[in-house]
Structure 1
Amino acid sequence: MRDTEQDAQRLLNGSVRRSYDSAVDIDWDAPLEDGKYFLPPNLSALYDTPLWHRMTPEQRIELSRQELANLLSVGHWFENVLNQALLRMIFDADPASRHTHYALTEIGDECRHMLMFGRLIEKIGARYYRQPRAQLAITSSLPRRLRGLHLWVGALIGEEIFDTWQRKIMDDPGMQPVVRRMMRIHVVEEARHIQWAREGVARRMRYASWWEKETIGRMVGFGGQFFSDQLVHRRIYARAGLNADEAYRQAVANPHYRQVKQEGFDKLRRFFDEQGIFRGKARERWRQAGFIA
């Protein structure tokens, strides 16, 4: 398709102008700064809860370290899934097409991002978070399922919500400098990936079958709770030295964190509304997961 090739060429041009290599664009040897957070306090799932008000500044900083390590771990497995799906997409595609070239460019970007996430987990003195067996079984099956409209919608769910939070992190002077730098690099390169996925959704919705639209429109509803379960779980609080059960109960019931999730999802929700993505009970499922007011 001519539009597809033109879109891909434009994104390829952008990749030439603005791409990074974290091995040289991040000062990994610079020491961490005392008293600085790893995530903004108001993005924490425990922010403004009774437990939060009992915590010392040192405990809050340690919690932010663990929450960042978890966020990076989620980003690592998501980009792994996306890369596998993109490789499947272009397996029998024309190797001379610009669409294939941009897919390969994005795969390269995502490989560098995965490396960057891993190095940052190590830099901040944390350990990665392995998914529980049940979640891992779902995640490992995704590359075979993400095709067509499913691929583009799945990519946006994994990219746009994080992007909203990343933009807040990179502009916050209270953050560790290495964290702000990594987020800025990721925001710049993910902007192209988000644009490609949005164009993919809009294009696919113009000619997808009724069955494809209905299938993804209903299945997308399960993404909210699955996504939420990756962000808030007891292991984060146990590693931060807190009472894991108490912290988890307060986090999932925290009205402030529901607002954080809603702000992160709002831009994507509006795009899904414009494209007519939600079908059946999908919107209600995202509301139950706390991403829609």
Structure 2
Amino acid sequence: MTTVSDADDGLSEDLYIDRVEALSRATVRRSFDPYVDIDWEAPENALDRNDPRWQLDPESSPLGATDWYAEQPMQRRIDIGRWVTANTLKVTLQFEMMLIRGVVHYAGKMPNGSRVFRYLLHELTDECNHIQMFQEFINRTGEDVPGMRRGSRVIGPILGFIGGYANFILFMGVLCGEQPLHFQQTLQHRGAAHVPPLLNKVTYIHLAEEARHIAFADDHLAERVKSASRLKRAWYAFLFPFFLRWLIGEMIGPPRSFAREFGVPRRVFKAAYWRSAESRRMMAESAADVRRVAEDLGLRMAGTRWIWRVLGIEGRLPRYRGEPDRSPMSTRTTEMRTVAAWRLVPVAIMAGVALLVAPDGVKIIACAAAGAGVWAAYHVLRDRRGGVVGNQPFEWPRLFVWVAVCVAMIPAGGLIGLALVVFMIWALAEYMPTI
């Protein structure tokens, strides 16, 4: 199913209901039960911890595309791939638990006879089956993975509950969480021979049923945006890229505890998530279908497109869901460099403010540059000492340097200098993977 663009006045009420009913009928006609449709005890579905097919695919995994990963021994590549695969499924089931909270709350407010209520309950049944299916798979890998980062595990249930009241944001979350995972699992199925058969069966079920959920989210957002005021549209347009960037990071990027467990150097971890040109291309491409929907809804306004660029999720608009990227590699590389250059924009803005507003603007800029230099020098020295991994124990010296630079900047350059040094450090982090 496709979504009519906002420029065409979205979906009519009757067409929207017809599509909801069609999705309900499709769910009844073809749905899956993971404990009926998958023979978990079949010999071909056994998960071998030493199966070389666990290795990460460089076409779909940012870490798998790094030289560091390619240089690791075979068994280590297998162990890393098995852990990442299990953790991705754990993140997915945690995300679906979060959505269930919001959908249950939203459905409970619907009137008797609502056709949307019926579809939503079908969707909840699908999601519960997916949670059971993914957890069963994780249990059979033998990996004790955490899933989402700690902060997301804390705030996720709260956001799910709030989504029951703000249903536009709830289904924006559905779209921003499901589409990047849909993109990654689609790439996996294009190389189906290179992953364990059980993983293909699990993700096949998920892809088939999530396609319905994504279609409903597209249509529901198109229906809701018709009646939204200009202020609400501007608010939704502002939130959209932040939701998408957060959920891409959760769905595709492992938590930093993974880096410590496998000794991934900080430089490699940062490059893979998301500072190298190849990883940025993957991130931008995983956001392509959501960009298309946001464009159709009129939620990629001229005033908010810079946010998409700064967050690294700007790119082409596919003609249809899942359209492969056929643009020349040179064009993709240029786009990634443009994204990195946007880190320098706030530095230039704050430097301009210092020169225009403060009588000692040159001094403020010089002090901020010195402070950022101290911060960068600390990271260079730390990197030369070696042993820097993606999630090493808490660094008190690093905190001391950060506080010292910021505190010194207030008397030296005031609040303008403080803002300038923060943006300078942010820009340096783009070019120094150890920061």
Q: Give your verdict on TM over 0.5.
A: yes
Separation in 2, partners of 1:280, 1:69: 39
Decide which structure has the larger Cα Rg and report it.
2
Structure 2 residue aligned with 1:3: 15
User: Do 1:93 and 1:100's aligned partners in 2 also have CA atoms closer than 8 Å?
Assistant: yes
Q: Which moved more, 1:126-135 or 1:52-61?
A: 126-135
Q: Which moved more, 1:268-277 or 1:175-184?
A: 268-277
Separation in 1, partners of 2:306, 2:88: 25
User: C-alpha displacement at 1:237, in angstroms?
Assistant: 2.7
Looking at both structures, which has the greater relative contact order when contacts are Cα pairs under 8 Å and sequence separation is at least 6?
1
Structure 2 residue aligned with 1:66: 83
1:255 to 277, 285, 292: 277
Q: For 1:240-262, what per-residue CA distance to the aligned partner results, in whole angstroms no more than 9, with x for missing partners?
A: x2335344223232322222222
Structure 2 residue aligned with 1:289: 311
Structure 2 residue aligned with 1:265: 287
Structure 2 residue aligned with 1:79: 96
Q: Which moved more, 1:164-173 or 1:230-239?
A: 230-239
The amino acid that maps onto 2:29 is R
Separation in 1, partners of 2:78, 2:313: 26
User: C-alpha displacement at 1:190, in angstroms?
Assistant: 0.5
User: Do 1:222 and 1:282's aligned partners in 2 also have CA atoms closer than 8 Å?
Assistant: no
Separation in 1, partners of 2:265, 2:162: 34
SS of alignment partner, residue 65 of structure 2: coil
SS of alignment partner, residue 280 of structure 2: helix
Structure 1 residue aligned with 2:186: 167
Alignment of 1:106-255 (within 5 A): 106-146=123-163, 147-172=166-191, 173-230=193-250, 231-239=253-261, 241-243=262-264, 245-252=266-273, 253-255=275-277
User: Do 1:44 and 1:67's aligned partners in 2 also have CA atoms closer than 8 Å?
Assistant: no
User: C-alpha displacement at 1:159, in angstroms?
Assistant: 0.9
Separation in 2, partners of 1:5, 1:191: 18
Structure 2 residue aligned with 1:90: 107
Separation in 1, partners of 2:279, 2:132: 29
Structure 1 residue aligned with 2:379: none
* Over 6 Å off, 4+ runs: none
Structure 1 residue aligned with 2:118: 101
User: Do 2:238 and 2:304's aligned partners in 1 also have CA atoms closer than 8 Å?
Assistant: yes
User: C-alpha displacement at 1:10, in angstroms?
Assistant: 0.3
Q: For 1:3-56, what per-residue CA distance to the aligned partner results, in whole angstroms no more than 9, with x for missing partners?
A: 343222100111122210111212322322522126534322223323123212
Q: Which moved more, 1:130-139 or 1:254-263?
A: 130-139
2:40 to 25, 28, 37: 28
SS of alignment partner, residue 67 of structure 1: helix
SS of alignment partner, residue 92 of structure 1: coil
Question: Which ranges in structure 2 are unaligned for 5 or more consecutive residues?
Answer: 1-12, 315-334, 336-435
Cα distance change on mapping 1:167 and 1:48 into 2, 3 Å: closer
User: C-alpha displacement at 1:174, in angstroms?
Assistant: 0.5
Q: For 1:93-131, what per-residue CA distance to the aligned partner results, in whole angstroms no more than 9, with x for missing partners?
A: 124322100010001100111111111111222123154
Cα distance change on mapping 1:21 and 1:244 into 2, 3 Å: farther
Separation in 1, partners of 2:225, 2:248: 27
The amino acid that maps onto 1:176 is P
Q: CA RMSD in A?
A: 2.1
Separation in 2, partners of 1:157, 1:217: 13
Q: For 1:151-196, what per-residue CA distance to the aligned partner results, in whole angstroms no more than 9, with x for missing partners?
A: 2211100111111111121232100101011111001001110100
2:65 is the counterpart of 1:48: yes
SS of alignment partner, residue 32 of structure 1: coil
Separation in 1, partners of 2:109, 2:311: 38
Cα distance change on mapping 1:52 and 1:38 into 2, 3 Å: closer
Separation in 2, partners of 1:68, 1:287: 29
Question: Which ranges in structure 1 are unaligned for 5 or more consecutive residues?
Answer: none
Equivalent pairs counted in the alignment come to 292
User: Do 1:5 and 1:97's aligned partners in 2 also have CA atoms closer than 8 Å?
Assistant: no
Cα distance change on mapping 1:76 and 1:286 into 2, 3 Å: farther
